[in-house]
Structure 1
């Protein structure tokens, strides 16, 4: 899985120590209501499109970029559906990271879904009631929140130490 150059530079200083990174994810739907998923090369599991923001990059354009880079699909963003955290995640090489994730609902507008990078080994459309059983832990709740149809984004309203 390619690592952004600035993260590689940080890793040169901190090794495998935990990093806190900003990320985006997207629940991409087509005209038939199917959801676009990628099978990740690093863990073999299905996931919504996601990625790390480059320094100074806005979340919206980053999500559109990640969709195009990973799947070859051009999409337009509909709305932010959730803001949450993921991790810590320990990658096969020993790197540890946690993420602040801004998730978007996106609508596919053109392009043929295909593996378009080395981060994924498969790309496919799924009906919402026929999602693969081996979704990443973060993908199922992101899909559920995105498909609720609520106008406001979900975010945790509870402190980790109490209400």
Structure 2
């Protein structure tokens, strides 16, 4: 994903040391118009080629849910309504090829599709598509955990302790 300008400025002053960053992730659901089956929105990441949940970084002045709605539109051309916060989790540290280190504190939201045709909206994805819940492509464990948590009957937010 492109680096927001404020993080680029931080990196100039701070270097490649670890940054703690607020992230958002969306588990977006809809009922397939043809079959009525529940589907999940995924994007194929341009950097890794892997299917993943839409996600982004909260920028200064934004609320996390607002960030997610913005990111979903920018990346997938889909409009959603946020239903609930499902999980707040500290992800493992990431080290980028340039040596920059960061750790995301991710808020995973369950969302409901409102409108729009799923399509690539920016350079972060090479494909965007809906998948039946019982026919998902290979996903990383963190994606599966987010999906399982958002789909659970549990109404309260999940926290790790």
TM-score using structure 2 length: 0.92
Q: CA deviation at 1:44?
A: 1.5
TM-fit CA distance, 1:89: 1.1
Equivalent positions of 1:145-156 (< 5 A) are 145-156=149-160
Considering only aligned residues, what root-mean-square deviation do their CA atoms show, in Å? 1.2
Is 2:141 the counterpart of 1:137?
yes
- Which whole-Å deviations, capped at 9, do the CAs of 1:4-56 have from their partners, x for residues lacking one? 00011111122322111001111001123100001111221111111000012
Separation in 1, partners of 2:153, 2:97: 36
Farther off after superposition, 78-87 or 90-99? 90-99
- 1:11 matched to 2:11? The reply is yes
Hey, what does 1:113 align to over in structure 2?
A: 118
Structure 2 counterpart of 1:161: none
1:73 aligns with 2:78: yes
Please say if residues 69 and 117 of structure 1, whose CA atoms lie closer than 8 Å, have aligned partners that are also in contact.
Answer: yes
| Aligned mates of 2:110, 2:52 — CA distance in 1 | 14
Alpha-carbon separation, structure 2, partners of 1:57 and 1:125: 27
TM-score w.r.t. structure 1 length? 0.91
| Cα 1:136–1:12 shift into 2, 3 Å | farther
1:73–1:111 Cα contact (<8 Å) kept: yes
* SS of 1:34 mapped into structure 2: strand
- Paired position in structure 1 for 2:50: 45
* CA drift at 1:153: 1.1
What is the alpha-carbon distance in structure 1 between the residues aligned to residue 50 and residue 111 of structure 2?
21
> For the residues of structure 1 that align with 2:55 and 2:48, how far apart are their CA atoms?
14
Aligned to 2:107: 102
Q: CA deviation at 1:95?
A: 1.9
Q: Residues of 1 paired with 2:62 and 2:10: CA distance?
A: 18
Structure 1 residues not aligned, in runs of 5+: 159-163
